[in-house]
Structure 1
Amino acid sequence: MRKLLAIVRMKCPKCYEGNMYKDINPFHVKQLHAMPERCDKCGQPFNPEPGFYMGAMYVSYGLCVGLFIACFFGFYIMLGVDPVVLLVIYGLTLLALFPFIFRYSRVVYLHLFYDYDPHAIETYQKKENTGMNQ
């Protein structure tokens, strides 16, 4: 349950506290993909390797298919809307939700590869403090 909440809030997969995006508003298009290099709370890298987020396209695809199924069920099956109108509604909905789909696909993908560590923040702070003392 905590992992799901961390995903919804777009938080770090390791500590569930640090923000994964520099700007929390997904509709600031210039900052849509801007992520810090690391979590400011636990030091978890948000871009573990070059091309890491190419796999997030599969998550994005899944989210889009889920959205289509919801639109299909809601508008075509329940309300009997014409298929052409359904596609227009789906296209507009997809366009409006693109910033969320883009960000959530990255968040979900990173959460698939990293687990929560309850001591991550303490460990990171100890490393930072010992690094400063030397």
Structure 2
Amino acid sequence: MSQKSLGAAMLQGNCPRCREGNIFPTSMLSYRKLSDVHQQCPNCKAVLTPEPDFFYGAMYISYAFSVALVVNVLIILNYFFDDPDLWVYAVTVLVSNIILLPAMQRYSKVLYLYGVGKLSFDPHWNQKG
């Protein structure tokens, strides 16, 4: 069995411990059940909601994603369209937030779990009794 890299595991939303099981029960393209996370990894049974404040911490990362998105959209619109009307800014920010909402919510949880969670990669997790 080949080991999946850290970047590939994070992009695919896999468990930080085994890098094989999915963190989320639904597809990223689904707007239904965006906040659902498996309680345990389906593969190695590691606890994926390590603390009650897991969702609060992920919310701060999601907020940072939203702020970065707004700043980037404003800069791009101002640079390419030479200071458009205020409604163009508002509509573009709203539409881009709606389109990118699933990705921002998912990756905020993935980043929090990989960065702050107490799980670390263990390539020999299945050999421990």
Matches within 5 A, 1:40-55: 40-55=42-57
Tell me: CA distance 1:77–1:18, structure 2 relative to 1, closer, same or farther (3 Å): same
Instruction: Select 1:94's aligned residue among 94, 97, 115.
Output: 97
Q: Deviations over 1:2-40 (max 9, x none)?
A: 2222111111111111000111244241x2222221112
* TM-fit CA distance, 1:72: 2.1
| SS in structure 2 at match of 1:17 | coil
Contact 2:18/2:121, CA 8 A, preserved across alignment: yes
The structure with the greater share of residues assigned to helix is: 1
Contact 1:13/1:116, CA 8 A, preserved across alignment: yes
Paired letter, 2:41: C
* TM-fit CA distance, 1:122: 3.2
Instruction: Select 2:20's aligned residue among 17, 34, 48.
Output: 17
Q: Which moved more, 1:102-111 or 1:1-10?
A: 1-10
Root-mean-square deviation (CA, aligned residues, Å) is 2.0
Q: Which runs of 5+ in 1 are unaligned?
A: 128-134
Tell me: CA distance 1:68–1:121, structure 2 relative to 1, closer, same or farther (3 Å): farther
Structure 1 runs (4+) greater than 6 angstroms displaced: none
* TM-fit CA distance, 1:81: 4.3
Tell me: CA distance 1:121–1:69, structure 2 relative to 1, closer, same or farther (3 Å): farther
Percent of residue pairs identical: 28
* TM-fit CA distance, 1:83: 5.0
Task: Choose 1 or 2 for highest CA Rg.
Answer: 1
Contact 2:40/2:47, CA 8 A, preserved across alignment: yes
Counterparts of 2:66 and 2:125 in 1: how far apart (Å)? 33
Q: Which runs of 5+ in 2 are unaligned?
A: none
* Match in the other structure for 2:64: 62
